[in-house]
Structure 1
Amino acid sequence: MRIGIDLGGTKIEVLALDDVGSELIRKRRPTPTGDYAGTLDVIAELVAFVEAKIGRKGSVGVAAPGAISPASGLVKNANSTVLNGKALDRDLAAKLGRPIKIENDANCFALSEASDGAGAGASVVFGVILGTGVGGGLVVDGRLVSGRNRIAGEWGHNPLPFARDDERPGPLCYCGKSGCIETFLSGPGFARDHFARTGAALTAREIAAAAAAGEAEAGRSLALYRDRLARGLAGLINIVDPDVIAFGGGLSNIDSLYIGLPELMGRYAFSDRIATETRRAVHGDSSGVRGAAWLWPIAPC
């Protein structure tokens, strides 16, 4: 049995999979706000709940914001700031009395979709998350690639490719730089850009709905977003050249996002033809917790 934990800013979810990936049980609890010790307690309680219900122990993998720094062994880059600077992997292993595996939540998303989702059977899969932030993860031949610095897949913190004069220097990003892809392609970034152009305060979903209803300014905003997405993905394709790009996050549910996307990517990528397949995630919001469970290839008996 594989147990996955999705450690989010507002909720902690546990899921158990059998050895062929079938779901056995899942449960959610609110994340204790600003309480690191309380967060560890909730994770331990959820693992204990699953094992009591199923009647056996399992491996434990965790999808978490940020990453474990190879330099310090502590969490870095987490937007759930209570985790930053903490030895989350060692603290959880001590709490649970067993080794655990922790990966960035975007990496877990990519691993889930590569294992038995949108990228199943593909050699190179890049998972893209478009939501409150912009994240990504890379899986090659079924193996998650975290990188030497554990930042592989962080395409959202590269500059927007082929930036135009009115896109420079770009919005300030929380990482301290300006013009990151995330500042343009996140849900808040999309909404902010539409407001700056039109004065209309709409969410990303509302902009897409207005565009579908024929509202001209919303249509222009959506077209610009799609073009920026294509530019960002073209840069990714030039470096990684994946077989499949799997999309997750709230914005991935906007159907019109995919219209003409391969052709747009082809305008910017360094190739005469783009055969990369773009697919929506099969497991949706469950991909993070499923990917956490898949961090262990073989569960202990």
Structure 2
Amino acid sequence: MILCFDIGGTTIKGALAYSTEDIRLLPRVTTPKDDFTAFVGVLRQAVEDCETKPECVSISIAGVVDEDNGWATVANIPCIHGRDLKADLEVELGLPVIVANDADCFVMAEAGIGAGKGHRVVFGVILGTGVGGGLVIDGKLINANGGFAGEWGHAPVAATQAGNPPAHIPPFRCGCGLHGCIDATCSARGLEKLHELLHQEEKSSQQIIDLWCAGDEKATRTIDVEVDLLASPLALVVNVTGASIVPVGGGLSNSQELLSALDEAVRSRVLRKISRPLVVKAQCAIEPGLVGAAVLGLASLSD
């Protein structure tokens, strides 16, 4: 049995994982964001409450672990930001600890028991507040020791002309400090910025999608530009990785119509000709961070 956590800036979700088919949720706890002692105390209490001692602790965080030095970049939880989180928690808890990015846990969940099950190369995509991703090959996470692989949302590669007819798209500033990232242009907030740029009106991402599905001309233009901006970078990722399936999670993935449009556009731009859907909705809709942490932790026991 392993103890797994999905740690966010607001709450810590926990579960006991006996197998990928037997994951038992624990009560949620408020995240102590500014007090490392209290933060460790929450995890230690969960360990002590286990009827049998866990074999390891597996953690999903909304941040990145630097594979060179082990330092965690977790902007929304100051007390663990800049720490060698794995090493520090192993000392505090007296157990082996695995720490992984939440997008990596998402793709592990999809590759293990979700839409990617049975596929050798799975590239998981997050389309929500941000644009992220993760890569699993032969059941192994590329970022097993931390790292930035899969972060296709961050690089100044967003097209400056998109849609039919082409619209000029300025390189929006991204939260990572660069300009012209897919994250800044095609996330939920990016979709809203695109709509305002094209039509000088403010709409939420959900409103834009709903209007598009209803045949609204302005929303249809916005989605045409959005899909065009997303499809080429994602097709390049598929060509580079050889992914045979691309499960998508995040808020924008709730629109099957949007995923279908993106799938059609991506398949028209990849070298490999695929007649079946390639870009698909993720199947692990409930607690993918916890499920991914469980899959990652259980896999480590058999290595």
2:65 is matched with: 68
> Structure 1 counterpart of 2:215, which letter?
G
Does residue 1:197 correspond to 2:198, yes or no?
Answer: yes
The 5 A counterparts of 1:101-112 are 101-112=98-109
Shift of 1:24: 2.3
2:9 is matched with: 9
More displaced stretch, 264-273 vs 192-201 = 264-273
1:14–1:47: 8 Å Cα contact kept in structure 2?
no
Q: Distance in 1 between matches of 2:149 and 2:24?
A: 31
2:42 is matched with: 42
Residues 4 and 219 (structure 1), Cα distance of their counterparts in 2 relative to 1, 3 Å cut: same
Shift of 1:276: 6.4
2:195–2:222: 8 Å Cα contact kept in structure 1?
yes
Residues 228 and 274 (structure 1), Cα distance of their counterparts in 2 relative to 1, 3 Å cut: farther
Q: Distance in 1 between matches of 2:292 and 2:146?
A: 20
More displaced stretch, 145-154 vs 87-96 = 145-154
Q: Distance in 2 between matches of 1:199 and 1:163?
A: 18
Residues 200 and 44 (structure 1), Cα distance of their counterparts in 2 relative to 1, 3 Å cut: farther
Shift of 1:275: 5.8
1:293 is matched with: 294
Residues 13 and 277 (structure 1), Cα distance of their counterparts in 2 relative to 1, 3 Å cut: same
Aligned counterpart for 1:80 among listed residues 76, 79, 85: 76
Q: Distance in 2 between matches of 1:192 and 1:30?
A: 33
The 5 A counterparts of 1:125-164 are 125-146=122-143, 150-164=147-161
Shift of 1:23: 2.0
The 5 A counterparts of 1:107-122 are 107-122=104-119
2:120 is matched with: 123
1:249–1:285: 8 Å Cα contact kept in structure 2?
no
2:256–2:281: 8 Å Cα contact kept in structure 1?
no
1:61–1:101: 8 Å Cα contact kept in structure 2?
yes
Shift of 1:195: 2.1
Percent identity of the aligned residues? 32
Q: Distance in 2 between matches of 1:145 and 1:291?
A: 14
Q: Distance in 2 between matches of 1:48 and 1:253?
A: 38
**What root-mean-square deviation, in Å, do the aligned CA atoms of Structure 1 and Structure 2 show?**
2.4
Q: Distance in 1 between matches of 2:145 and 2:90?
A: 23
1:167 is matched with: 169
More displaced stretch, 205-214 vs 145-154 = 145-154
Shift of 1:147: 7.4
2:64–2:146: 8 Å Cα contact kept in structure 1?
no
> Structure 2 counterpart of 1:222, which letter?
I
Residues 20 and 65 (structure 1), Cα distance of their counterparts in 2 relative to 1, 3 Å cut: closer
Q: Distance in 2 between matches of 1:260 and 1:185?
A: 14
More displaced stretch, 203-212 vs 122-131 = 203-212
1:246 is matched with: 247
Q: TM-score, normalised by structure 2?
A: 0.88
Shift of 1:148: 8.1
Aligned counterpart for 2:89 among listed residues 88, 92, 111: 92
Residues 41 and 202 (structure 1), Cα distance of their counterparts in 2 relative to 1, 3 Å cut: farther
The secondary structure found in structure 1 opposite 2:25 is: strand
Residues 35 and 217 (structure 1), Cα distance of their counterparts in 2 relative to 1, 3 Å cut: farther
The secondary structure found in structure 1 opposite 2:133 is: strand
Q: TM-score, normalised by structure 1?
A: 0.88
The size of the alignment, in residue pairs, is: 295
Shift of 1:87: 1.9
Q: In the TM superposition, what whole-angstrom CA distance separates every residue of 1:40-62 from its partner, at most 9, and x where no partner exists?
A: 3223333444x14xx45342101
> Structure 2 counterpart of 1:46, which letter?
A
1:159–1:180: 8 Å Cα contact kept in structure 2?
yes
The 5 A counterparts of 1:211-290 are 211-271=212-272, 277-290=278-291
1:32 is matched with: 32
Q: In the TM superposition, what whole-angstrom CA distance separates every residue of 1:14-65 from its partner, at most 9, and x where no partner exists?
A: 122222432223321222344444333223333444x14xx45342101112
Residues 274 and 175 (structure 1), Cα distance of their counterparts in 2 relative to 1, 3 Å cut: farther
More displaced stretch, 117-126 vs 232-241 = 232-241
> Structure 2 counterpart of 1:2, which letter?
I
Shift of 1:208: 0.8
Shift of 1:204: 1.2
1:167–1:179: 8 Å Cα contact kept in structure 2?
no
Q: Distance in 2 between matches of 1:11 and 1:206?
A: 28
> Structure 2 counterpart of 1:167, which letter?
I
Shift of 1:268: 3.3
2:47–2:53: 8 Å Cα contact kept in structure 1?
no
Residues 285 and 277 (structure 1), Cα distance of their counterparts in 2 relative to 1, 3 Å cut: same
The secondary structure found in structure 2 opposite 1:259 is: helix
